[in-house]
Structure 1
Amino acid sequence: MLTKTHLISNGAVIDDTWVLLDDETPLGDTPAIISLDRLKAEADALRLRNAKLGVVIRTNTLGKTKLGEDVRELTPYLDMLSTIAIDFPVYRNGRGYSDARILREEMGFEGELRAIGEVLFDQWSFMARCGFNTFEIDASIPVETFKEALNELSEAYQPAVDNQRGVLWRRHGL
């Protein structure tokens, strides 16, 4: 059974115009999110496509390494991508946070960075600090709850993508 979700981008509920496709489904003319494997295999043809393109990064992929997919493999394709969805298969898998920071800080990705999967209340502010600007959340959660969660933590202990200086840095005038 599929769980109904809201898509929240930059604090507002938006219509999801993207379609998450498996590797066998033909690409249409609508914005599509595809697997990293498909992106690599069909890159030349995808460059000629007129519709927006996105990719999903699986942080724990069955049949692959225990660590999942490496976002650095997106480097030659970043110019093709409007959105990157990072899947959180379970709440205790934090690899997506590191992936988000790598995409924003090291790779300079400025497009939509979408958190999908098991995206929970107490993680939202941390995800935003790491560079996520779009969240797929359970539709039973009020949007106001989401907004409150983003502002729940007023202080940070370490620097992140949001450029908020950590408490220790401010205390020491750094």
Structure 2
Amino acid sequence: MTSIVTVEPPTSTPESLTPTPEPTTSAPESRRPTAPSPAADASSVVREYFAAINAQDYRRAWDLGGKNLSGSYGAFVDGFATTAHDTAHILRVDGGTVSVSFEAAQTDGSLRVFEGTYTVHAGTIVGADIGEVTGPEPQPSEASPSYENCDAARAAGAAPIHQGEPGYAPHLDRDGDGVACEPYPP
């Protein structure tokens, strides 16, 4: 399954966080691009961390800072056993502190929401203060429908289902594009 990390750009930094490559010919010092700001570097590390988790490249996520957030590599990997996909939003960057919120879609179709900060130093996450956001329990009438498969969703007239809509679940979105139970190709 292909996983995609969706990361909102920070509100206090430029839209593009990709540094301009160094020119191949000599340019006057005043025209040379500057190095990316620490804020861009910190947010890039957090973006890479989530991308590695979504790709199930846990070794890369460990090297980007997971080693500073968990007692052992095995415990770190086990912490993602029920996570199907993370969608991260960078809210703010203040030096090496990156404020985030993210939704962790679970393998059972449920969604957990977290927010907090990652602290980045020298290209590595060195600390985190992340907590699960809890809200009131939904009333039975507000519960999201759950479909065993796309045939059941189609029979209920709910297909296609976009990510974030009631009834969306990763197991229904085979291509991982955020749209579950897409119509059959003509």
Of Structure 1 and Structure 2, the greater helix share is in: 1
Q: TM-score, normalised by structure 2?
A: 0.25
